Copies of this chain bind each other. A is one copy, B any other.
Amino acid sequence: MKIPTRLYLSEDEIPTSWYNLRAFMKDKPEPMLHPGTLRPVTAADLSPVFCDEPIKQELDDSTPFIVIPEGLQSFFRAYRPAPLIRAYFLEKELGTPAEIYYKFEGTNTSGSHKLNSAAAQAFYAKAQGLNALTTETGAGQWGSAMAMACAFYKLSLTVYMVKISSEQKPYRKTLIETYGANLVPSPSSTTEAGRKILAEDPGSNGSLGCAISEAVETAVKTESCRYVLGSVMNHVLLHQSIIGMETKAAFDKYNVKPDVIIGCAGGGSNLGGLIAPFMGERIENKNDIHFIAVEPASCPSFTRGRFAYDFGDTVQTTPLVKMYTLGSGFMPSPNHAGGLRYHGMNPTLSKLYHDGYLEARAETQTDVFNAAVYFAKVEGILPAPESSHAIKVVIDEALECKRRGDKKVILFGLTGTGYFDMSAYAAYNANTMTDYIPTDTDLTKGFASLPNIPQNR
């Protein structure tokens, strides 16, 4: 069959269930622990912070498919299915015998896949009768997505944006405000957590960990309000499984079988969503796909982190999560553009990596932008810096196929567009972009913040 450039699904082919990858794992990820009791957290522990239905999803590691509610499906129809594109131009330019496909999640206004979980979490908050939500954002994709979703479902939203990002990306701030959200640069003096961090370091650039602490505190203290998170948690990966489900449906329609699947990884939401149904089959020995996670060399949780229980936030108030982590005290370099700055990694992906189902590679920023600009010129789309980590490795793999005469089928996740990352592109164009690779001393400092509990010894 001739493969078109865009492997579209019709509206009635959009999947109506999410894929709960944990249900397919023989060895499940270890449970989240209550930091006081060190016992597995319960729904009751989580309910002051999170919305009810996402909590159920977070704790459910046995239901294989979870139905997407109709009120959410109708929102999805406004921007999905996301295009699955055959990279004919890239293949030709590289002269590779490999077939390259990418699932492009950047055609919605938030500019990335983040809207998939933002819509779900706003939908559930509304269904639960809440009025308000809080969240944090780093590079701004998640904050933009939540602002869009809250405008649509008519919920009030406060976004704590990592301070250095809000300064480097004033237009992200404008976008979030245009959708009606209240944006607060973090650390701020509006919360105890923020004041504590500012007292220790008045010039703090902020971090996702700080912003999470502020957003959680505000959610807990506000009437009819909860906190929402855009990555790391298992329910977020569940929502993002729509990416993989759509991709698999389109591949099945055109009888394409991927050999390699590549995704960028910060907290893991895109990677986990993209690979979900393929990894489920891999675990059941129904395929032999090679999965590659690509992370920034500046924040290398998979490749240089520890597999340990850690807090999700800097002030250490969240449940403990068993994951690959650099320590909640790890501070990424401010010269790192884009997202993928989180100190930890989703626990399901961490477990799969630990058990050998997943390879991980770390790439430097300038290598990533080389790949981004090359891709933009050849395929037309200006990629997000995050997505470009995957592109770098796709090009490496495709050139390796060329050397070996190997006709592999490569799939990658093009998670978003770079339209709000133009200051980073400007720095790249002006040759002023620099790389940062943490020294062993930097890492040791981060690891010192790991909780000293029995499971970590």
Give the B-binding residues of A (Cβ under 8 A): 4-6, 8, 10-12, 74, 77-79, 85, 88-89, 107-109, 111, 148, 151-152, 170-171, 174-175, 177-180, 373, 376-382, 417, 419-420, 422-423, 425-426, 428-429
A422 touches B171 (CB 8 A): yes
Which residue from B5, B6, B89, B377 sits with its C-beta under 8 Å from A179?
A: B377
Q: Given known contacts A10-B4, A422-B174, is B377 in contact with A417 (CB within 8 Å)?
A: no
Q: Given the complex of chains A and B, what is the CA–CA distance between A90 and B214 in angstroms?
A: 35
Q: How far is it, in angstroms, between the C-alpha of A425 and the C-alpha of B381 when the chains are bound?
A: 24
Most central of A89, A177, A377 by chain B CB within 10 Å? A377
Partner of A377, one of B151, B170, B419, B429: B151
Q: A78-B5, A79-B380 are in contact. Are A175 and B109 (CB under 8 A)?
A: no
Q: Distance in Å from the Cβ of A153 to the closest Cβ of chain B?
A: 11
In this complex, the member of A109, A148, A381 whose beta carbon has the largest number of chain B beta carbons within 10 angstroms is A109
Cβ-defined contact, A10 with B8, below 8 A? yes
Contacts known (A10-B4, A78-B89); A376 close to B178, Cβ less than 8 A = yes
Chain B, Cβ-Cβ closest to A172: B422
Q: Given contacts A109-B381, A174-B426, list 9 more A-B pairs with CB under 8 A.
A: A4-B77, A6-B77, A74-B88, A78-B85, A152-B377, A174-B429, A175-B419, A175-B425, A177-B429
Instruction: Please indicate the chain B residues that have their CB under 8 angstroms from the CB of A74 in the complex.
Output: 5, 88
Most interface-central of A8, A77, A373, A380 (chain B CB within 10 A):
A380
Given contacts A10-B4, A11-B6, contact A109 B380 (CB under 8 A): yes
- Chain B residues with CB under 8 Å of A78's CB are 5, 85, 89, 379-380
